[in-house]
Amino acid sequence: MRRFLLLVPVLAVLLALAPATAGRRARHEKKKDAAPEEGATGFKLRSEILSRMPEVAAALEAVRSNPGDVTAWRALGRVLSEQGAHEDAIRALEHAVEMAPEDPDALVDYGAALVRAGELRGAVKALRDALEIEPFHALGHYDLGLAYQRLGRHDDALTEFEAALLLEPKLGDPRVNAGALNNPDLPYVKLRVYMRTVGATPALFTGDLGDGN
């Protein structure tokens, strides 16, 4: 018993200094109790009308047909988030992250849904976790920029938007990224990227981004 008591503070320090992976797993374990209906066939939307939408119905069917497919859960979460069903989207994407806590794409989808839902601090955490796993995830940087932008952290937002456009200039094109159209910081960020690359990314201004092939 005495040895156990002596180990308690050591374990506490180790847990506090553990890598982000351990923190993510612990967080997701806690959230399992908050979403008990996310099993193979038990995922239920809060709106029956929403479930009749073709895109949502198809995503639900994909999840129910293959509940172990993280990609299917991500697709369900994204379509729900796009439809404004934020609580359902977050539940679906939480489940995806629980299934694959080291998948940066799942974390980015989760963080983006949290941004749309206005849960900005949670979004920052999820997106930072994603970028710790994959630092060159352009969409992760862009969505983190959105979270910072809405938190009023202007300089941090500009930094993330710049990183996103340096990695993937197409994120500045509204034809590819619809949100770019209403992002007031992007014109300035595009200029910064252009100057930083000494004109190496003229497509940011000309719109000549190719067909994506």
Give all strands (DSSP E) within 16-88, no chain letters. none
Contacts of 133 by beta carbon, 8 Å cutoff, 6+ apart: 102, 104, 107
Q: At what angle do helices 86-99 and 104-117 cross, to 10 degrees?
A: 160
Domains present along the chain, CATH in parentheses: 23-134 (1.25.40.10)
Check whether 21 has a pLDDT greater than 80. no
DSSP code of 53?
S
- Amino acid present at 38: E
Q: If you compute the radius of gyration of the chain from its CA atoms, what whole number of angstroms results?
A: 20
Average pLDDT over residues 92-117: 97
Identify the pLDDT of residue 28. 43
Q: How far apart are CA 47 and CA 83, in angstroms?
A: 12
Q: pLDDT tens digit string along 134-193?
A: 999 999 999 999 999 999 999 999 999 999 999 999 999 999 999 999 999 999 999 989
Q: How far apart are CA 59 and CA 39, in angstroms?
A: 15
**SS3 label, residue 102:** coil
Going by pLDDT thresholds of 50, 70 and 90, the confidence category of residue 62 is very high
Return mean pLDDT, the chain.
Answer: 81
Greatest distance between any 2 Cα atoms in the chain: 71
